[in-house]
Structure 1
Amino acid sequence: MQNPTAPVVETRQGKLIGFTQDNVDAWCGIPYAAPPVGQWRWRSPRPPEPWEGLRPATACSASSWQSSEYCQELGGGDPGQFSEDCLYLNVWSPSSRTAPLPVMVWLHGGGFTIGAGGLPPYNGAPLARRDVVVVTLNYRLGHLGFFAHPALDGEEDRVVHNFALLDQIAALRWVQENIAAFGGDPDNITLFGESAGARSVLSLLASPLAGGLFHKAIVQSGYTLPDTPREQALKKGEALASHFGLEHATAEQLRAIPPESFWPLEAPLNIAPAPIVGDCVLPEAMLDVFFAARQHPVPIMIGSNSDEASVMAVFGIDLAGQIQKLRRERRFGLGLIRLLYPGVKGDEELGRQVCRDMAFTTMGFVVMQAQQRAGAPCWRYWFDYVAEAEHATYVNGAWHGNEVPYVFDTLGQVEPSRQYVNERDLAFAAQVADYWVNFARHASSDRDVLKGPTNWPACRKGRDVLLRLGVNKHAGFRLENRFMRARMSLFKRVMKHHVSLD
């Protein structure tokens, strides 16, 4: 028998019944596109099929194919079952709703190879209690999400390689059409994401297909790795087909490869943690768009963490080796870098900071300057808080991804943090989440300051200011002018030539 108090909404496809917990209504596993299976693998997503009657929406869907072990270790939890039929989203909304509420749409990270919208850190209930509607989603991962092969060319009336980004665009279209039924305002949608999710946000800010689908953007630890050129992606696709014994593969043969065969592939057959440039989604490289200030001119919040280099080992990058390479090949460049990092001792520590800043910190500087040229506001942050019990573990600061449970205010609800957080950690997390919600609610071209423990001004023309979220790993909020300005100016000039996974 159905629970008579369970929340029911009517979408364009049909009615959904969800569940209520602690004054928040939730609906999970909502299809936003038709299953991309069989002949629909490596094609643009299609609208979801309508249904009759009341569809249960009480459990998250299967995730895209990936390594469960890797996701549990690095991606935020257990992604559950896998399927190519993975294009579903989840919605949280306060049970008491009056005026239309700001909408926050989350794109998960994981290098475009792991992750899911239903992972525990992304529980939208704590943000929804602040009177916003939260949406999280799955998108195609790995080769299912990013692929090029000559046999697939010409199947559609446009060139498509970034299927994952098209999934995200389809989800945003679904939100535009349906979110009012959940209490959300379709004219106030904030797109936010971390790592590969942040890279997705940057890509959609640069994509001609995403204009008007969101009104604000938050970029958490977006990175400067170059997009993969279409020609290179086509060659990689042919090499992958050969690996499966398909020298002159047809589209039908490629689609017959079992979906679970792709994710275990290692270099050079794995995908890069960056989209492909040269299709309808990204006709121009994301970095080139921002360098030319041609991004969609919406308010942006952007920042990164104090120990982003923690992720470099995952990509197989030897931090000390980067400095040793400079010493062999570019002694002048190394001398210049030493001037920019006074007091930093040893190749390991210098490599850690240089790689962090070239790959992550500089992205905020690039976006700030692009926003200033476009006449749009930009709020910059630097996350440097570590839970009090974990200072000895996180010696160099906040790791890549550490800010996520603070942003969602799920710290203490997810492993392993529930084992060690205290009231002061939780209070700090609540303040960070408040800033994110304030951005979603108030940020606009006319709004210069976000209210909080420290009032946070946007970077306008002539103003380069950043908010430290945590100071030397401890609680606190502090504004800093011209943050790492000399380093950022140099790295912006050279990063296109020197940031890669090679």
Structure 2
Amino acid sequence: MPNQQFLSNNVPPLVSTDAGIVAGEWEDGIATFKGIPFAAPPVGELRWRAPQPAEKWQGVKDARLFGQSSWQSREYCTAVGGGDPGVFSEDCLYLNVWTTLPSSEQKKPVMVWIHGGGYTIGSGGLSPYIGAPLASRGVVLVTLNYRLGHLGFFAHPALDAEYPAGEVVNNFALLDQIAALKWVQDNIAAFGGDPDNVTIFGESSGARSVLSLFASPLAEGLFQKGIAQSAYTLPDTSRRQALGRGESLAQHFGLAHATAEQLRELPADSFWSLDKNLSIAPVPIAGDSVLPTPMMDIFRTGKQRPLPLIIGSNSDEASVLSYFDIDVASVVKRVRKQHPLGLRLIKWLYSGVKDDGELGRQISRDMAFTTMGYVAMLAQHKAGAPGWRYYFDYVSENARTLCPNGTWHGSEIPYVMNNMHLIESSQVIEGGYTPQDKAFAEVVSEYWLNFARHAVGQSTHIEGDIHWPVWKPRGDKTLRFGHHGQVGLKVEQRFMRLRLRLFRLLMTKLVKLD
């Protein structure tokens, strides 16, 4: 049975996990454990296989350094993914834990963060995800790494042939996340956490992971609630598409008739730098044993796991689209060509917006991001599970000139994590965060913490500075964090309702990467 030994701040905190003892360190009174292996290295014969249990070790494992990150573009991650992801390796399945001194009182809520980055960049050890501030307020915070790019999502006939019918695995990254959640179930009590009160939360592709885990039959019983920040409506890749891409990739490496052995012999660092036409889409693959049905189809029919869910997005999500080479003005041109009557209706819904660029920016934001929150709330209602929807529209005081259109994609993370003072200087806007920013972060993060502490299937609201009521179709209430960049909290009724009803019908035809 795992147990812990927290003696004093002068002695490293020791915890006995099911694989062996780990020694962390104290950081401002928080016991911090980094680089704990939650699965065996997925290398050699284990590449493109389900994660296997971590090997047990003798003695005490040093847990003071973050584990290696999956292969990726350092330049891209440093610029837009949260900082320098450190050392790269195919051996990347590590997690990190922040916790306070345990007590004889009840176990603490657990919050497991799944990082974003389009499934191609990122790491659980990046400074925007440091969990000490939330841990200091009474939760156990876990972050994790998972396989990225083609190492995390891949299909090829030679690999699929290794599985019995109906058991094929293509979503290795999602299985890594599931393996980390199984580790939490087996070990988190030793860190003071409650395995029966686990909240999974993430942003962008991390939010897509949260929703995919709500839809996956393999994640049953591993968490009790979820938070999806800026999940997007882009459809999952079909297995047919994934198999075609896998064969194209093999041909690129001169393996027109590739065997599984030949594919596993390809260098681990050869995948992330491929041209765009050979790269993966920023979504999972639908049709394998991990995600048998597309996530969007699961939510449209209300068949997702019926657990409490917070979901929302930011006021300038279109800020991320340039990184996918999407011209927002071209969105208007596409709608004008394909749905001329629909464009007339859309222009009416965005009265006062004349410029195609600005109209395209707002349409892109709402169709690709805001609509996901509305779809998920309808799904929660169908499933008989509580849901809460938010819209983040506060811009840090020193970023308002840089961000005239609202809150950028990912800019809510320092407010949720309440860790502005710990983020690498290279990731902080000129002038830094102000006292008002930091005070607002306390307000925002308290809602996330109260959800983790108290939300259950019968919850009617989340406590905070103002009452955040559960979403119901008639009232369609959304909590707005900020207003046109300024500080504030307000519960909006029927927020963007007409737009989102329309986009729920149009998104399957118009939300694309090309």
| TM-score of the pair, normalised by structure 2 | 0.96
Match of 1:12 among 4, 18, 21: 18
Q: Report the CA distance between 1:169 and its aligned residue.
A: 0.3
Q: Which moved more, 1:162-171 or 1:426-435?
A: 426-435
**Corresponding residue number in structure 2 for 1:152:** 159
**Corresponding residue number in structure 2 for 1:225:** 234
Q: Report the CA distance between 1:260 and its aligned residue.
A: 0.6
Distance across 2 between alignment mates of 1:324 and 1:375: 40
**Corresponding residue number in structure 2 for 1:135:** 142
> How do 1:299-310 residues align onto structure 2 when only pairs under 5 Å count?
299-310=308-319
Distance across 1 between alignment mates of 2:61 and 2:80: 33
Q: Describe the shift of the 1:322–1:461 C-alpha distance in structure 2 as closer, same or farther (beyond 3 A).
A: closer
- Kept after mapping to 1: 8 A contact 2:110/2:140: yes
> How do 1:227-376 residues align onto structure 2 when only pairs under 5 Å count?
227-376=236-385
Distance across 2 between alignment mates of 1:421 and 1:452: 22
Q: Which moved more, 1:225-234 or 1:154-163?
A: 154-163
- Kept after mapping to 1: 8 A contact 2:237/2:281: yes
User: What SS class does the counterpart of residue 495 from structure 2 fall into?
Assistant: coil
Cα deviation digits, residues 135-187 of structure 1 (max 9, x gap): 00000000000000011013234100000000000000000010000000000
Cα deviation digits, residues 82-121 of structure 1 (max 9, x gap): 0000000000001254320000000000000000000000
User: What SS class does the counterpart of residue 209 from structure 1 fall into?
Assistant: helix
Distance across 1 between alignment mates of 2:244 and 2:276: 14
**Corresponding residue number in structure 2 for 1:215:** 224
The yes-or-no answer on 1:72 pairing with 2:72 is: no
User: What SS class does the counterpart of residue 70 from structure 1 fall into?
Assistant: helix
Q: Describe the shift of the 1:427–1:4 C-alpha distance in structure 2 as closer, same or farther (beyond 3 A).
A: closer
User: What SS class does the counterpart of residue 268 from structure 1 fall into?
Assistant: helix
**Corresponding residue number in structure 1 for 2:410:** 401
Distance across 2 between alignment mates of 1:185 and 1:21: 22
Q: Read off the aligned partner of 1:417 and give its amino acid letter.
A: V
The yes-or-no answer on 1:420 pairing with 2:427 is: no
Distance across 2 between alignment mates of 1:80 and 1:424: 32
- Kept after mapping to 2: 8 A contact 1:91/1:133: yes
Q: Report the CA distance between 1:130 and its aligned residue.
A: 0.7
Cα deviation digits, residues 184-236 of structure 1 (max 9, x gap): 00000000000000000011101111121100000000000000010110010
Q: Which moved more, 1:456-465 or 1:228-237?
A: 456-465
Q: What is the percent sequence identity of the aligned residues?
A: 58
Cα deviation digits, residues 374-396 of structure 1 (max 9, x gap): 11100110001111121110000
Distance across 1 between alignment mates of 2:432 and 2:93: 35
Match of 1:120 among 106, 127, 130: 127
Unaligned runs of 5+ in 1: none
User: What SS class does the counterpart of residue 124 from structure 2 fall into?
Assistant: coil
Unaligned runs of 5+ in 2: 1-7
Distance across 2 between alignment mates of 1:104 and 1:145: 23
Cα deviation digits, residues 16-62 of structure 1 (max 9, x gap): 11001112101000000000000110000011111111111110011
**Corresponding residue number in structure 2 for 1:163:** 172
Aligned residue pairs total: 501
Q: Read off the aligned partner of 1:441 and give its amino acid letter.
A: R
User: What SS class does the counterpart of residue 465 from structure 2 fall into?
Assistant: coil
Distance across 1 between alignment mates of 2:369 and 2:322: 15
- Kept after mapping to 1: 8 A contact 2:130/2:422: no
Q: Report the CA distance between 1:413 and its aligned residue.
A: 2.6
**Corresponding residue number in structure 1 for 2:189:** 180
Cα deviation digits, residues 325-362 of structure 1 (max 9, x gap): 22233221211110111111200000000010000000
The yes-or-no answer on 1:32 pairing with 2:38 is: yes
* Over 6 Å off, 4+ runs: none
> How do 1:471-486 residues align onto structure 2 when only pairs under 5 Å count?
471-486=483-498
**Corresponding residue number in structure 1 for 2:67:** 61
Q: Read off the aligned partner of 2:483 and give its amino acid letter.
A: V
Q: Report the CA distance between 1:455 and its aligned residue.
A: 1.1
Cα deviation digits, residues 414-461 of structure 1 (max 9, x gap): 234374211111100111111110110011122211111111111135
- Kept after mapping to 1: 8 A contact 2:81/2:117: yes
Match of 1:432 among 419, 444, 450: 444
Q: Report the CA distance between 1:4 and its aligned residue.
A: 5.9
**Corresponding residue number in structure 2 for 1:455:** 467
The yes-or-no answer on 1:51 pairing with 2:57 is: yes
Distance across 1 between alignment mates of 2:9 and 2:420: 31
Q: Read off the aligned partner of 2:335 and give its amino acid letter.
A: L
Q: Which moved more, 1:36-45 or 1:492-501?
A: 492-501
| TM-score of the pair, normalised by structure 1 | 0.98
**Corresponding residue number in structure 2 for 1:189:** 198
- Kept after mapping to 2: 8 A contact 1:219/1:303: yes
User: What SS class does the counterpart of residue 500 from structure 1 fall into?
Assistant: coil
Q: Read off the aligned partner of 1:499 and give its amino acid letter.
A: V
- Kept after mapping to 2: 8 A contact 1:103/1:133: yes
- Kept after mapping to 2: 8 A contact 1:319/1:351: yes
Q: Read off the aligned partner of 2:113 and give its amino acid letter.
A: W
Distance across 2 between alignment mates of 1:327 and 1:15: 62
The yes-or-no answer on 1:106 pairing with 2:113 is: yes
Distance across 2 between alignment mates of 1:460 and 1:430: 27
User: What SS class does the counterpart of residue 218 from structure 2 fall into?
Assistant: coil
- Kept after mapping to 2: 8 A contact 1:23/1:96: no
**Corresponding residue number in structure 2 for 1:385:** 394
Q: Read off the aligned partner of 2:55 and give its amino acid letter.
A: E
Q: Read off the aligned partner of 2:406 and give its amino acid letter.
A: G
Q: Read off the aligned partner of 1:253 and give its amino acid letter.
A: Q
- Kept after mapping to 2: 8 A contact 1:20/1:95: no
